[in-house]
Chain A
Amino acid sequence: MLLADIVETLPHGGDYVAILPEIVLSLFGMLIMLLDPVMDERRSQRTLGGIALAGAFAALLAAFFQAHFLSHTGGSGLAFWNMIKVDAFSIFFHVVVTAVTILVILSSYEYMEVQQIRAGEYYGLILFGAVGMSLMSSAMELVLIFIALEISSIATYILAGFRRRSAISSEASVKYFLLGSFATAFFLYGVALIFGATGSTSIATIGQSLAQYDSTGHGPLLAYVGIALMFVGLGFKVAAAPFHIWTPDVYEGAPSPVVGFMSTAPKAAVFAVLLRIMFQAQAPGRVLLIWIAAALSMTIGNIAALVQDNVKRLLAYSSIAHAGYLLVAFAALPANGIPAAMFYTASYAAMNVGAFAVVGHFANAGERYVSLEDYAGLGKRSPLLASVLTIFLLSLIGIPITGGFFAKFYVFTAAMQSNLIGLTIIGVINSAVAAYYYLRLIVFMYMREPREEVPVTPVPVGLGFALGLSLAITIYLGVQPTRVLDYAQKSVDLLR
């Protein structure tokens, strides 16, 4: 073989641009891991946090550079022998994931000190997790998706158990790990069956091969089973019913900023994967499968949340319900469903990270104050924090001028346009029921007498930035959603 031929097969410059955010994140992650042992333990927290923050910002810039690069070179965005595709779609998710990472790092700053958690691995793992999530959104190859999924999952398994002194945190970690590995195994089994049915693990090829069956109306049984098994694995990761059982326990035990992280970024990434598999691979039997999961998630999540007295558990069930709303978009036609799902992911990320940041700050050392009762009178004692949390909660309800409103609105519009009238009605009824438990928390904050034994500490700078940013995004998406939605729309056109 000639040297020229070998050079030809090697990755070239464009290939590296395709994984630029991942490269940046990995480098900063490794830098943190290397610095951690040689640093003074007391001072490491701020420095390493700063490095992590710089890394996340650099990754965000890298994502923007990708967009710039893509529009200038006008390439297909395919890289590494078609295993990776950087298009507007994946850049959208890169931005969501890195933005969430930035917010989480900012809100972790002071939390780590209060909870006395060692900083080094924590920040490193967050960055490594983000690597997996970014990779997931640009992977075009089921095996690569599996690897990326594992990178992100393993990081979150460990992060969930970071409050080592607390039993429920360790429980959360172990539970998440055991059930999560089980779910990944399902995913892998699904990949194997799909490979059997179509002879490929590349999403594009699978799509072409499954598209043939469209005319006959049904694909091979193997493909149905494979898609169903993959959906089990991915459904677990996004906490969709009936694969949601782990969610409340893990969210309750895991550190609050981590919950903010794992309830948004990995979910966004998995939803990106799901979008690619369901729409680009033309998955057969998709509508019924998702219809059931969406209806179940919304209903179970909301009804269970009605009776929760622990704020973290309440938000855990709420996130199950939100996974359900998002899945409604997946059941819709691709042209309407995909932009709706993308918009939902972005606005959900902003409001949920914000809500958990407030919860984490208020919980105090050892996360002691997380029951509804503890929030009594917060509106009087800490008006700023309470009003910020209120806006996030109103956004979660879906009240106008918040991102949550348009998110729900687009999803239900998409469903209606696809003639999913039943699912839309289940959805809107659910979103009305959901108002009750979010409202209950607001009622506690504003209409109950304060409890003096619950400490209220001033909001530190990092958290203030994180809250300000997520608040700004939430409101921006609620007032001027057009640009983000247009971008999502545009990326869908490229997807097909």
Chain B
Amino acid sequence: MNWLDQNILTLVTFAPALGALLLVFFPRRHRDIRVFALVISLLTFVLSLHLPAHFHRDQAGFQFDINLQWITTPNIHYHMGMDGISMWLVVLTTFLTPLCVLISWTSIHERVKEFFILLLVLETALIGVFLALDLFLFYFFWEATLIPMALLIGVYGHGRRVYAAVKFFLYTMIASVFMLAAILWLYAKTGSFDFVVIQNALRGGAVPDYSGIVPLMLFLGFFIAFAVKVPLFPFHTWLPDAHVEAPTAGSVLLAGVLLKMGTYGMLRFNLGLFPEQARANASWIAVLALIGIVYGALVAMVQPNMKKLIAYSSISHLGFVVLGIFSFTQAGLNGAMFVMLAHGVSTGALFMLAGILYERRHTYEISEFGGLASVMPKYSTFFLFVVLASVGLPLLNGFIGEFLVLSGAFQAHMWWGVVGASGIIWSACYLLWMYQRVFFGVVKHEENLTVPDLNLRERVALWPAAIMALAMGVAPLLWLNAIDPAVHNALVPFTQFMSKVVSQ
């Protein structure tokens, strides 16, 4: 392995943090700060492209492994590694961050420097979550995402931002201490925080006292932390508040990446460490996911607020991910991964679009608009494209993932598939109805007549997302052939459930 391969994960993870550190010493000229943040985030993106380019797609294990002793007592390692599951989530993060910088170009005018510092620190923490293979390091990054995100919401948000920020912080903090307790138990019994070591110990039955109620408690400890983050019904109430009050960039990263921390965690830890428990508890978790799909969609339908609508649609989409994961089928897991990525791109784009409108009219109320298609033709076209991607139109990215999840769900349990499939219909209803109310008809409000269309910067921010949505819909194999071996590997303990329906 050459030097770059050995250190690429460290570079990708800490490049944004390094940028943030440099930004601290930057003069307070707004333009320079923005340009610098953009350069750093683009640089990180380019660095992260090294990962898919040099990733061995036929191998299932962790690649670009780096394992250094960090703290001797307790035995904590700086252990980072990446497989097909985490790779795309990292790239998704680095892909969305430059777009976030672009979209916040003019909408943030106060404490600009601090804003971009927080954004870059958040990026580092997010990437770290996906790459950490030491449970301690994972928890460290997991908690580290909290502060910048809460500050982004609380300082740069809208009306009830403080309430939303505190709610977000407390929900996730309280839930994650259960995970901490579970991690500490595992360390106490195995003497290691290393994911691979613990996994082998658990599978080999080499962990003392791992019997009775303990496995269930450990499973739940991890699960609660992840379920709140996803958020799975009934732990979802923080999400609409956080989304509505967050600044656009915050919403994009929140929906695009932060929620995936939860589903990633389920996939990596709940399935990876406690397969028996995952199997035993799959039924009620899948039911919660199904409730989330339908409930999220129904509530989204009646939202008068555009951003809240998108937020509830996230609950519905993430329900698909959880359903796919707990179907324990190759198709379901592949689909779950693909929905995560597709949702990140298309919902991220939806939030950017909503933010663009907010910058012009300072409202998210759907009833304030109508007939925008004639005033803002470019904007409406982008919006329609993204809406269709999100609805799941074939050839766009939403379709592939949901299709795979549903085919997995049908294999696992017919009714899961039936109820889940209704979610696709619901999503068409609420999104297209919202689109109709905002863009079609005559212009009802005079101030909407003079709303300017997209400018160059906004188009530059939206194009990559649109292209990505199309590319993922047309050539999903580019993504799936890296995901598949990792998913296959994750499913080894579930051999009974293995299906031959592989991602084609």
Task: List residues of chain A with CB under 8 Å of any chain B CB.
Answer: 339, 394, 399-401, 405, 409-410, 412-413, 416-417, 419, 421, 424-425, 428-429, 431-433, 435-436, 439-440, 443, 446-448, 481-482, 485-486, 489
Residues of B within 8 A of A489 (CB): 73
State whether A412 touches B73 (Cβ < 8 A): no
State whether A447 touches B155 (Cβ < 8 A): yes
State whether B144 touches A401 (Cβ < 8 A): yes
In the bound complex, CA of A384 to CA of B325 (Å): 46
Chain A: minimal CB distance from B139 (Å): 8
Give B180's nearest chain A residue, CB to CB: A428
In the bound complex, CA of A339 to CA of B73 (Å): 10
State whether B174 touches A410 (Cβ < 8 A): no
> CB within 8 A of B166: which of A421, A432, A436?
A436
Q: Mark B109-141, 1 if CB is under 8 A from A, else 0.
A: 000000000000000000000000000100011
State whether A482 touches B166 (Cβ < 8 A): no
State whether A429 touches B174 (Cβ < 8 A): yes
> CB within 8 A of B184: which of A424, A435, A486?
A424
> Given contacts A400-B140, A413-B188, are A485 and B154 in contact (CB under 8 A)?
no
> CB within 8 A of B169: which of A400, A412, A439, A446?
A439
Tell me whether B501 is interfacial, beta carbon within 8 Å.
Answer: no
Residues of B within 8 A of A413 (CB): 74, 184, 187-188
> CB within 8 A of B154: which of A399, A447, A486?
A447
Task: List residues of chain B with CB under 8 Å of any chain A CB.
Answer: 71-74, 136, 140-141, 143-144, 146-147, 150-151, 154-155, 161-162, 165-166, 169-170, 173-174, 176-178, 180-181, 184-185, 187-188
> Given contacts A413-B187, A443-B154, are A432 and B165 in contact (CB under 8 A)?
no
Give A444's nearest chain B residue, CB to CB: B162
In the bound complex, CA of A432 to CA of B147 (Å): 14
State whether B144 touches A431 (Cβ < 8 A): no
State whether B155 touches A482 (Cβ < 8 A): no
Give B177's nearest chain A residue, CB to CB: A428
State whether A424 touches B71 (Cβ < 8 A): no
In the bound complex, CA of A439 to CA of B150 (Å): 10
Chain B: minimal CB distance from A491 (Å): 13
In the bound complex, CA of A425 to CA of B184 (Å): 10
State whether B184 touches A482 (Cβ < 8 A): no
State whether B73 touches A482 (Cβ < 8 A): yes
State whether A446 touches B74 (Cβ < 8 A): no
> CB within 8 A of A431: which of B140, B170, B177, B184?
B177
State whether A481 touches B151 (Cβ < 8 A): no
Could you write out 13 A-B pairs with CB less than 8 Å apart?
A: A419-B188, A428-B181, A429-B177, A431-B177, A432-B174, A435-B170, A436-B166, A439-B169, A439-B170, A446-B151, A447-B161, A447-B162, A485-B71
> Given contacts A421-B185, A432-B177, A447-B155, are A394 and B169 in contact (CB under 8 A)?
no
State whether B155 touches A412 (Cβ < 8 A): no
State whether B174 touches A417 (Cβ < 8 A): no
Chain A: minimal CB distance from B134 (Å): 13
20 other A-B residue contacts (CB within 8 Å) besides A432-B170, A439-B170: A394-B147, A400-B143, A409-B136, A416-B185, A416-B188, A425-B181, A428-B178, A428-B181, A429-B177, A431-B177, A432-B173, A432-B176, A435-B174, A436-B166, A439-B169, A446-B155, A447-B154, A486-B72, A486-B73, A489-B73
Chain B: minimal CB distance from A379 (Å): 8
State whether B71 touches A481 (Cβ < 8 A): yes
> Given contacts A400-B144, A486-B73, are A412 and B166 in contact (CB under 8 A)?
no
State whether B155 touches A416 (Cβ < 8 A): no
Residues of A within 8 A of B184 (CB): 412-413, 416, 424
Give B139's nearest chain A residue, CB to CB: A400
Residues of B within 8 A of A425 (CB): 181
Residues of A within 8 A of B144 (CB): 399-401
State whether B162 touches A435 (Cβ < 8 A): no
State whether A482 touches B147 (Cβ < 8 A): no
In the bound complex, CA of A493 to CA of B180 (Å): 28
State whether B188 touches A482 (Cβ < 8 A): no
Chain B: minimal CB distance from A291 (Å): 17
Residues of B within 8 A of A416 (CB): 181, 184-185, 187-188
Give B169's nearest chain A residue, CB to CB: A439
Residues of A within 8 A of B185 (CB): 416, 421
Residues of A within 8 A of B73 (CB): 339, 482, 485-486, 489
Give A480's nearest chain B residue, CB to CB: B71
Residues of A within 8 A of B166 (CB): 436, 439-440, 443
Residues of B within 8 A of A443 (CB): 154, 162, 165-166
Give A408's nearest chain B residue, CB to CB: B180
Chain B: minimal CB distance from A212 (Å): 31
Residues of A within 8 A of B181 (CB): 412, 416, 421, 424-425, 428
Residues of A within 8 A of B151 (CB): 446
In the bound complex, CA of A448 to CA of B154 (Å): 10
Chain B: minimal CB distance from A228 (Å): 29
> Given contacts A413-B187, A482-B73, A485-B73, are A433 and B174 in contact (CB under 8 A)?
yes
State whether B173 touches A435 (Cβ < 8 A): yes
Residues of A within 8 A of B74 (CB): 410, 413
State whether B169 touches A435 (Cβ < 8 A): yes
Chain B: minimal CB distance from A426 (Å): 10
Chain B: minimal CB distance from A301 (Å): 17
In the bound complex, CA of A409 to CA of B397 (Å): 42
In the bound complex, CA of A417 to CA of B186 (Å): 10
Residues of B within 8 A of A429 (CB): 174, 177
In the bound complex, CA of A352 to CA of B26 (Å): 31
Residues of B within 8 A of A339 (CB): 73
Give B151's nearest chain A residue, CB to CB: A446
State whether B143 touches A436 (Cβ < 8 A): no
In the bound complex, CA of A233 to CA of B35 (Å): 61
Residues of A within 8 A of B174 (CB): 429, 432-433, 435
**Across chains A and B, which 3 residue pairs bring their CB atoms closest together, nearest first?**
A428-B177, A416-B188, A416-B184
In the bound complex, CA of A319 to CA of B409 (Å): 51
Chain B: minimal CB distance from A377 (Å): 12
In the bound complex, CA of A404 to CA of B251 (Å): 30
Residues of A within 8 A of B170 (CB): 432, 435-436, 439
Give A446's nearest chain B residue, CB to CB: B155
Chain B: minimal CB distance from A343 (Å): 10
In the bound complex, CA of A400 to CA of B146 (Å): 10
